[in-house]
Structure 1
């Protein structure tokens, strides 16, 4: 609370004798002059940015340029090198300043009467930001308020699942999750026009802008007239999706080792090799994808090989159990930590798409062994996880009816519908 003083000079003239101020308690003689002081209290407005009161600060916004570091960013703001060095060392366990990246947003706050930076704020991602308090050499990480919205939409296949979902505004994360869920039931490489899909999911928003997918709530796909409802239900401590009959969508293996993409070549015992220029068996499935695309293990297992050969390039081989083994070829890079004996979980990133070895372009060659023999992965019948147990059947039926009612109410529209 601050006080502001308002003064008013008042000249009061008495025409005759003493004068009483509006019946008040003081009098003015003829020709007397006085100054009357009024005291007014008011609340000074405060303005906050990243939790900092910037009422007395200037705000300078910027974007990290190529090869810029904390030192080069702060150089124009008269921050001594000793301070920059101290804060870089002090922040290492909170945020390593070497990870300041190109094109990321930052804010510099300086006092209005000085050009020396008092705060440096770096937006590590759309949610998290790091505050460097330069005058006290203090570093801390905070998050912006995140709003979670439930969104639903439905559509009809006119081009492809991917393109039709993108046209409705769906994120790549949502499309990949949907394709993973239905991958063993529907071949999304060749879906017919007229197939229908509906989805209920959660999306994260910061300052009104979407910052990412936050989980699938329920889904529906109609393939050639056959309906597949995906109902979430927790069983044995794990949240899993089941169809309307109580059968699990989850199987021992993911359908694809690369998120929703194009199969460029299939298992073929008499394929013409594009590099060796001769006919030879192709015992794998090729997934076309840009260099650097994440490759994930299709199931839990143990790494038995992670190395380079002239034909396979960089590759990883995983033993899943006594029956199944998988191999991932032509990687641009093997993921950190992948070595013989390493345990991996289904969906874990084990490397990145490339074109090392005998490859004409970036892709993943995925190979699948069953009882020691390489087989056609796309023709394998992989058993699902356990269905709904008898003791959970009644509870599942209640959840199923609720979700099916929600899904049935979704129109096949051409735009997203968000619910607060």
Structure 2
């Protein structure tokens, strides 16, 4: 056979050989593909169940939900009885999320009920076997340190919101500085820097904040530092101290409301009151105007000696702090505490309202010293117990790296407006 007749056969041989090799490669690649990993959540292999995710609707109960997922009422009653000491099924709440793990057979009967209290904590009710059990499950939390800085343009809440942070952080910072800084009097261009912890699940979903480790406010040109430190070696209760080891906390808060308020009327023994015919009538309190339902705090720790509704005072609470000082809070919408209860500084004792003689929502804050009503803003009030001298060297060593970290945080830079003339000049 001549060479020119053989060449086409050689070409065809190589063509089919290449095709065979490609098919083998494809087969090999298919074989090497790994099986999908099982979906493990809450300690269960979700692949073994029919998974139903839903939220509790208005009017729904645990029994209604179970019945809808083919659990008979004798079994529902048995579940409720078996777990009553761990979880009361009557307390499921509207709009709470839940997950049901049901069998994959034709009955699709519920076997596990997962009630989600929040993003982290759930109650798991497992009744797939003869032994019914309920227990708490918490998702693993990762904590990271964060640094932020901001500038006051209108108020602190707006500044925190602009940074994409939750109001709970603003409340925590307000608590820390509530004895040394009047958040109502913050000025435009005051600045702040914060070092705090943020909690995450699945590395990406934020579920709140942890400890505020350090902070500094620059107010009226003065730096006000705050560092978290445990000086009480017996009770191990953390407090916040400044850069000179002075305790930020005082025996009394400056205000019974955190920072969303205004002082509408001060202590004035010769004030004319419109409700009483514009006659002079002593006003022996300080009025803090705020929205209805704003929480009212105890300005110092003590025992509730009065909690009632009476005459022009409306709903009110009176607290005895020691043999010298007492405070009273008037015109509440609702009271939270009863006579004889011991409350700690900062505890919520009621909510702002308009009960009694009042022309608008506020709390009238009254202050007694040795049985006589006085103006707390004119009194030299006692400080809390200072840090022991022996602890100060340890404290200064502790805050040194935190102060360096705070000072190295950059403040936000204002964007300068470019006018048309500047654009032309730049071109």
Scaled to the shorter chain, the TM-score interval is 0.7 to 0.9
Structure-1 separation of matches of 2:387 and 2:35: 62
2:209 matched residue in structure 1: 213
Tell me the residue number matched to 2:91: 99
Q: Which moved more, 1:118-127 or 1:64-73?
A: 64-73
Which of 228, 231, 235 is the equivalent residue of 1:232? 228
1:321: how far off? 0.8
Are the equivalent residues in 2 in contact too, given 1:247–1:386 (CA < 8 A)?
A: no
TM-score (norm 1): 0.81
Where does residue 219 of structure 2 map in the other structure?
223
CA distance in structure 1 between the aligned counterparts of 2:92 and 2:289, rounded to whole angstroms: 32
Structure number with higher strand proportion: 1
Map residues 66-215 of structure 1 onto 2, 5 A cutoff: 66-113=58-105, 114-136=107-129, 137-207=132-202, 208-215=204-211
Q: Deviations over 1:73-95 (max 9, x none)?
A: 22311111222222223333222
Q: What's 1:399 paired with?
A: 398
* Equivalent of residue 49 in structure 2, options 45, 48, 57: 57
Contact 2:179 2:252 in 1 (8 A): no
- Provide the C-alpha distance between the structure 2 equivalents of 1:362 and 1:63, rounded to a whole number of angstroms: 37
Contact 1:203/1:213 (8 A) holds in 2: yes
Q: Report the number of matched residues.
A: 373
Q: Is the 8 A contact 1:189 1:262 kept in 2?
A: yes
- Aligned-residue RMSD, C-alpha: 2.5
> Post-superposition shift, 1:43?
7.9
Distance apart, 1:210 and its partner CA = 2.0
Counterpart residue number, 1:46 = 38
Q: CA deviation at 1:275?
A: 5.1
Check conservation: 1:183, 1:255, Cα contact below 8 A.
yes
Listed as ranges, the matches of 1:281-292 within 5 Å are: 281-292=282-293
Change in CA separation of 1:297 and 1:89 when aligned onto 2, cut-off 3 Å: farther
Equivalence for 1:375: 374
CA contact (8 A) 1:303 1:317 kept: yes
- Are the counterparts in 2 of residues 231 and 399 from structure 1 also a CA contact under 8 Å? no
The superposition leaves residues 211-237 of structure 1 with CA deviations (integer Å, 9 ceiling, x where unpaired) of 222121001011111111112222232
Q: Aligned pair in 2 of structure 1 residues 94, 354: CA closer, same or farther (>3 Å)?
A: farther
**In 2, Cα distance between equivalents of 1:246 and 1:149:** 27
Distance, in Å, in 2 between the alignment partners of 1:87 and 1:330 is 47
For the residues of structure 2 that align with 1:70 and 1:272, how far apart are their CA atoms? 59
TM-score calculated relative to the size of structure 2? 0.80
Long gaps (5+) in structure 2: 1-33, 414-427
Q: What's the counterpart of residue 339 of structure 2?
A: 340
- Whose RCO is larger (CA < 8 A, sep 6+)? 1
Consecutive unaligned residues of structure 1, counting only runs of 5 or more, are 1-41, 415-420
Mean CA deviation greater in 219-228 or 166-175: 166-175
Seen in structure 2, the aligned counterparts of structure 1 residues 63 and 233 have a Cα distance that, compared at 3 Å, is: same
Deviation at 1:268, TM superposition (A): 4.0
Deviations 1:234-282 (A, max 9, x none): 2232322211122110111233323332125232425554655645333
